[in-house]
A and B are shown apart, each in its own frame.
Chain A
Amino acid sequence: KAGVTQTPRYLIKTRGQQVTLSCSPISGHRSVSWYQQTPGQGLQFLFEYFSETQRNKGNFPGRFSGRQFSNSRSEMNVSTLELGDSALYLCASSLGGEPYFGPGTRLLVL
């Protein structure tokens, strides 16, 4: 069974730009969560979607948003990028139990 896929894998943007990251969950998984990982803050929860509805949201500013499509694929968007948004963005999918992570998108904001 194919794992969680994320695109793109690497991204370089400049301050003020916006970015969209994509996540395709494991087939059959309807829950998709997003996390930000930085050396200083560790892994922090952004939001979780289930059946196209946001079920939970972490403590991030409104510049961070997401959505889920009917096929369970999910996207997250960051608008007005700041230097501090440089991080590894991870997506995880689950069937209601154990979350499995994708390879991540490494975002560098210059």
Chain B
Amino acid sequence: QKEVEQNSGPLSVPEGAIASLNCTYSDRGSQSFFWYRQYSGKSPELIMFIYSNGDKEDGRFTAQLNKASQYVSLLIRDSQPSDSATYLCAVYFGNEKLTFGTGTRLTIIP
């Protein structure tokens, strides 16, 4: 059973601080990794994707991938109240089936 694991939270971070979200996955052969943000009652919104080891930055967001440790993380710098949402980690396992973690609920405290 291919799995993606996330800490469900809630994770509380003061406004302006760095929020760090973590995800581990079970299949060492996985090649594609995604972070989605989901506001309550809305659909998931793609905010980052990463395919290679290392860091990928986009604005206030940085995705970090370590394939040897089977670990992918998302850093949100200068956290804003609008960042309060559930963050879903998703991994493509070999057969093109996108598997999601259960999500981490993030709350930014003003």
Interface status of B71 (Cβ within 8 A of chain A): no
Contact, CB under 8 Å: B44 / A90: yes
A33–B97 Cα gap in the complex (Å)?
Answer: 9
Contact, CB under 8 Å: A98 / B95: no
Chain B interface SS verdict (over half): strand
A44–B99 Cα gap in the complex (Å)?
Answer: 7
Chain A interface SS verdict (over half): strand
Contact, CB under 8 Å: A97 / B49: yes
A92–B43 Cα gap in the complex (Å)?
Answer: 10
Q: How many residues of B contact A (CB 8 A)?
A: 20
Q: For residue B102, which residue of chain A has the nearest CB?
A: A42
A48–B99 Cα gap in the complex (Å)?
Answer: 12
A58–B32 Cα gap in the complex (Å)?
Answer: 19
Residues of A in contact with B, size category: 20 to 34
Q: For residue A55, which residue of chain B has the nearest CB?
A: B96
- B residues contacting A by CB (< 8 A) are 32, 34, 36, 42-46, 49, 88, 90, 95-103
Q: Which 10 A-B pairs have the closest CB atoms?
A: A43-B100, A101-B43, A104-B43, A42-B102, A98-B49, A101-B44, A56-B97, A103-B43, A45-B97, A90-B43
